[in-house]
Copies of this chain bind each other. A is one copy, B any other.
């Protein structure tokens, strides 16, 4: 998958940011983790439709990008918790206006089940 950034890209910060959140489910993962740390299976349940492979890939990329923290607990049964790093929190906040724009202009400003739990629309 994406081992390095797009060749020749990232001439400006926006391109770099788009690369970080470019995965199909990354913004959803970000939103989910914004509320509280989640275990792998919990994320899978929160994101209906995502496969284990894709979820794992995205999480590894987001961890490599420094926006997600992976905490492993040596227990049985095994437990791993994912949470946002301060960088991830900042990214989520930077994403907020975009979510508002989408809700206002694309969804006709109608309400949805996320709008009261966060500020991302």
Instruction: Point out residues on A near B: beta carbons under 8 Å.
Output: 6, 8, 10-18, 20-22, 24, 27-28, 31, 49, 66, 87, 90-91, 93-107, 112-115, 120-121
Taken together as a complex, chains A and B put the C-alpha atoms of A115 and B16 apart, in Å, by 14
> Which one, B13, B18, B102, contacts A20 given CB within 8 A?
B102
Which 4 residue pairs across A and B have the least CB separation, nearest first?
A13-B103, A13-B121, A13-B102, A17-B102
Taken together as a complex, chains A and B put the C-alpha atoms of A87 and B60 apart, in Å, by 35
Asked whether A11 lies within 8 Å of B93 as measured between CB atoms, the reply is no
> Which one, B10, B93, B112, contacts A12 given CB within 8 A?
B112
Asked whether A99 lies within 8 Å of B8 as measured between CB atoms, the reply is no
Q: Which chain B residue has the least Cβ–Cβ distance from A48?
A: B8
Given A91-B101, A94-B98, check contact A18 B14 (CB 8 Å): no
Given A14-B31, A31-B12, A112-B12, check contact A101 B106 (CB 8 Å): no
* Residues in B whose Cβ lies below 8 Å from that of A114: 11-12
Given A13-B107, A101-B90, A121-B13, check contact A21 B18 (CB 8 Å): yes
